[in-house]
């Protein structure tokens, strides 16, 4: 019985995940193919005007670029489009013809995953520790300072934090005559003179270039973790089972990890996945600020250059990543909070 | 007839109560009060600045990228125009746009959320599912992709943002309405066979005004984020606002010229202040209307 409802819960979530990706795919198909003056029609017209070729030939070129069969009825096109998406085949880039969209994504995605992942992880760890600490030190003088700073961080947009960081690290000299980090090290993924590979020079250079994006992601999320963890630990501290655990004379470290930590973490785990969507959205602006060659900057360049196949590919990959993370968070939630199984998939507490 | 007088009396009582609550909401919380003052200052500045601090329309090549001085307290930009005047005028459009967008977004979210919760059943389930799906689509990248297909301006952006933000408000409003729905007087209203719009608009919504006000400030905040973000990326037409100033300061390479860093720093700080004031006001309102949230 219990096993059954867990299974049903997971199946429902998997269905939701696939449905979401399908909605986005369809949205993109409609935007690219069915809107009046859509990019495919425009591309064909352009080719006919620029190269003076016939409609047939232009259509052929468009077909190979967008990987669509333009002569087929719209439903067949749609189905083959879905098939291509399932095989991660998004056609070729318009701006750099002959290059597969997927290979561009594969080259750019690791950089974004590296900075976003490291930033999110470090903010999570620091935030959880600070938040728990603040919950225990509620009567100390520095607690309002930390909480105030946390709510400041959680309020202001990430790209403004990025600007502040850039000013502090790369512009202001603080009377020493030079900036903390030379500003050329704050742009791009790595310096021109280093050779990529597993050597110390390269790794150090990559970390230096990635430092500000990582710090931006960290600071932009840090406030939320501190506030959430402080709130949920404070409410856990006053529960009966913690009091009983103390009365039973359990070690305070056991109480902290097994009784307080586990319950206080619950609401935060789902938040972790929710934040990912925000961060990936923010990465567009942050990678532009630091000229960091990640997936966000690539989407921006694709949009500015009207490179539709690339746009659709990147957007689909981004959405899939976020949806997948949401799904994993929901699975993790079941593992952490067994109450969910009994309630037939409804979240036990909000 | 008698019923009608009763209604007006009760509604005037509500307005009176709301005013009293608003007064308390503004004053009771120190941080909230500061937020309120900041917002008020920005609003007043936006209203009087076209007359008091008009933006320079002509460029002055002899005054390009000057540091702060007596005539130009924040210095000048890359065309020799006064930065303070631009700061003073830069908030109006942002405030107006975010207000209109939040209003539109709230309208869509509240109508859908309230009716979905009251109607319940399969309809509610499907709406909730769709909202969940919609929420997991990254909003900002979607906006960027949209801007590749349509040319956005402030009016269309406002509508697009409002439509995009329906799901979040829908979810919160729906859960709020669900809890109000359980109360006795709603049951009484149902037993009296009052119409659905009447129950939603007259009985349920007035009881969640505080909740709506809080969400309104949150929505204004996310609108400002999206608008400034899009402007910074150069995907919106450049008009007179703080986001545009950041964009221009950035593209003109002000960061390599620390003397005129105010061109970049001033609008950044102003946007921070505006957003912080909204967040603080929202927090203060939350305390007023929902004492159980006090920590």
Average pLDDT over residues A247-274: 78
Of B82, B44, B56, B46, nearest to B262 (Cα)? B82
The listed range with the strongest mean pLDDT (A234-238, A334-338, B61-65) is: A234-238
Q: What is the pLDDT of residue A257?
A: 78
CA distance linking residue A64 with residue A99, whole number of Å: 12
Distance of CA B254 to CAs A333, B164, B261, Å? 47, 34, 6
What DSSP state is assigned to residue B256?
A: G
What's the predicted TM-score (pTM) here? 0.82
Per-residue pLDDT of chain B (295 residues; tens, 9 = 90+): 444 444 444 455 667 766 776 677 677 778 888 989 999 999 999 888 888 877 777 777 777 777 777 777 777 777 777 888 888 888 888 899 899 999 999 999 988 988 888 888 888 889 988 888 888 888 888 888 888 777 778 788 888 889 888 888 898 888 888 888 888 888 888 888 888 888 888 778 777 877 888 889 889 998 998 888 888 888 887 777 888 888 888 888 777 777 778 888 889 999 999 999 998 888 887 777 665 544 3
CA distance linking residue A345 with residue A341, whole number of Å: 6
Out of B137, B148, B225, the one facing A319 most closely (by C-beta) is: B137
Burial class (CB in 10 A: 0-12, 13-18, 19+), A25: buried
Out of A156, A296, A311, the one facing B275 most closely (by C-beta) is: A156
Q: What is the pLDDT of residue A341?
A: 55
Search chain A and give the residue with CA nearest B130.
A20
Burial class (CB in 10 A: 0-12, 13-18, 19+), B264: buried
Residue A203: pLDDT above 70? yes
Chain B CB within 8 Å of residue A318 CB: yes
Q: What is the pLDDT of residue A192?
A: 67
Search chain B and give the residue with CA nearest A17.
B133
CATH, domain A114-338, list 3.40.50.300, 1.10.3720.10, 1.10.540.10, 3.30.70.1250:
1.10.3720.10
Tokens of B286: 């939350």
Chain A CB within 8 Å of residue B258 CB: yes
Of B273, B240, B277, nearest to B97 (Cα)? B240
Residue A3: pLDDT above 70? no
When comparing pLDDT for A162 and A39, which is higher? A162
Q: How far is A86 from chain B (nearest CA, A)?
A: 18
Domain ranges for chain B: 2-53+95-293
Percentage of chain A surpassing pLDDT 90?
6
Out of B141, B149, B175, the one facing A299 most closely (by C-beta) is: B141
Give one DSSP letter per residue of A180-248, joined into a string.
Answer: SS-GGGGSSSS-TTSPPSSSHHHHHHHHHHHHHHHHHHHHHHHHHHHHHHHHHHHHHHTSHHHHHHHHT
**Does A326 contact B136 at a Cβ distance shorter than 8 Å?**
yes
CB of A290 closer than 8 Å to CB of A309:
no
**Collapsing DSSP states into helix, strand and coil, what is residue A133?**
helix
Give chain B's end-to-end CA distance (angstroms, integer).
47
**Residues A72-124: pLDDT tens digits?**
777 887 888 788 888 888 777 777 777 888 888 888 888 888 899 899 889 98
**Does A322 contact B136 at a Cβ distance shorter than 8 Å?**
yes
Chain A CB within 8 Å of residue B122 CB: no
**Does A315 contact B136 at a Cβ distance shorter than 8 Å?**
no
The listed range with the strongest mean pLDDT (A216-230, A267-281, B232-246) is: A216-230
CATH, domain B2-53+95-293, list 3.10.560.10, 1.10.357.140, 1.10.3720.10, 3.40.640.10:
1.10.3720.10
**Does A167 contact B140 at a Cβ distance shorter than 8 Å?**
no
**Collapsing DSSP states into helix, strand and coil, what is residue B98?**
helix
Q: How far is A244 from chain B (nearest CA, A)?
A: 23
Chain A CB within 8 Å of residue B256 CB: yes
Set of chain B residues whose Cβ sits within 8 Å of the Cβ of A219: none
Q: What is the predicted ipTM?
A: 0.81
Q: What is the pLDDT of residue B38?
A: 92
Burial class (CB in 10 A: 0-12, 13-18, 19+), A296: buried
CA distance linking residue A242 with residue A222, whole number of Å: 27
Chain A CB within 8 Å of residue B227 CB: no
Set of chain A residues whose Cβ sits within 8 Å of the Cβ of B254: none
Give chain A's end-to-end CA distance (angstroms, integer).
25
């Amino acid at each position: 019985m219990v096993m059954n409802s867990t299974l049903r819960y997971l199946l429902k979530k998997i269905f939701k995940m696939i449905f979401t990706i399908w909605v986005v795919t369809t949205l993109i198909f409609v935007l690219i193919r069915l809107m009046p003056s859509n990019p495919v029609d425009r591309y064909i017209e352009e080719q006919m005007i620029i190269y003076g070729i016939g409609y047939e030939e232009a259509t052929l070129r468009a077909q190979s670029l967008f990987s669509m069969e333009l002569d087929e009825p719209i439903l067949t096109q749609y189905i083959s489009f879905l098939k291509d998406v399932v095989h991660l085949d998004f056609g070729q880039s318009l701006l750099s013809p002959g290059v597969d969209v997927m290979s561009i994504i594969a080259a750019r995605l690791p950089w974004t995953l590296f900075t976003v992942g490291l930033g999110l992880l470090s903010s999570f760890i620091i935030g959880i520790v600070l938040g728990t600490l603040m919950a225990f030190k509620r009567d100390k003088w520095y607690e309002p300072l930390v909480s105030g700073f946390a709510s400041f961080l959680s309020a202001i947009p990430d790209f403004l934090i990025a600007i502040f960081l850039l000013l502090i690290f790369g512009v202001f000299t603080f009377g020493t005559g030079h900036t903390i980090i030379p500003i050329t090290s704050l742009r791009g993924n790595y310096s021109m003179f280093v050779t990529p590979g597993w050597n110390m020079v390269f790794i150090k250079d990559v970390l230096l270039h990635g430092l500000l994006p990582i710090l931006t992601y960290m600071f932009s999320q840090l406030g939320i973790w501190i506030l959430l963890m402080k709130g949920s630990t404070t409410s856990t501290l006053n529960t009966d089972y913690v009091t009983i655990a103390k009365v039973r004379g359990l070690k305070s470290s056991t109480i902290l990890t097994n009784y307080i930590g586990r319950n206080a973490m619950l609401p935060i785990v789902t938040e972790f996945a929710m934040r990912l969507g925000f961060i990936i959205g923010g990465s567009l602006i942050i990678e532009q600020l630091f000229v960091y060659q990640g997936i966000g900057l690539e989407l921006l360049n694709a949009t500015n250059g009207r490179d539709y196949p690339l746009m659709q590919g990147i957007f689909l990959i981004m959405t899939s990543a976020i949806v997948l993370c949401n799904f994993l968070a929901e699975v993790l939630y079941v593992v952490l909070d067994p109450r969910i199984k009994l309630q037939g998939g409804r979240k036990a507490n909000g | 007839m008698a019923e009608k007088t009763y209604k007006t009396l009760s509604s005037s009582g509500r307005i009176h109560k709301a005013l009293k609550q608003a007064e308390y909401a503004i004053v009771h919380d120190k941080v909230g009060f500061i937020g309120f003052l900041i917002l008020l200052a920005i609003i007043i500045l936006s209203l009087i600045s076209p007359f008091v601090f008009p933006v320079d329309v002509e460029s002055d090549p002899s005054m390009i990228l000057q540091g702060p001085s007596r005539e130009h307290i924040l210095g000048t930009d890359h065309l020799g125009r006064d930065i303070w005047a631009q700061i003073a005028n830069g908030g109006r459009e942002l405030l107006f746009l975010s207000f209109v967008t939040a209003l539109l977004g709230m309208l869509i979210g509240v109508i859908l959320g309230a009716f979905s919760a009251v109607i319940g059943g399969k309809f509610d389930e499907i709406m909730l599912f769709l909202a969940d799906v919609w929420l997991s689509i990254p909003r900002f990248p979607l906006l960027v992709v949209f801007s590749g297909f349509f040319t956005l301006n402030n009016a269309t952006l406002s509508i697009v943002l409002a439509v995009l933000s329906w799901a979040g408000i829908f979810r919160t409003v729906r859960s709020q309405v669900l809890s109000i729905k359980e109360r006795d007087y709603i049951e009484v209203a149902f037993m009296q066979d009052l119409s659905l719009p009447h129950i939603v608009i007259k009985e349920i919504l007035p009881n969640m005004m505080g909740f709506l006000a809080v969400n309104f400030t949150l929505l204004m905040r996310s609108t400002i984020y999206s608008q400034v973000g899009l402007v910074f990326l150069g995907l919106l037409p450049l008009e007179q606002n703080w986001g545009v100033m950041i964009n221009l300061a950035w593209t003109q390479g002000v960061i390599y010229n620390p003397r005129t860093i105010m061109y970049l720093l001033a609008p950044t700080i102003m946007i921070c202040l505006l957003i912080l004031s909204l967040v603080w006001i929202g927090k203060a309102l939350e305390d007023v209307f929902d004492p159980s949230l006090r920590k």
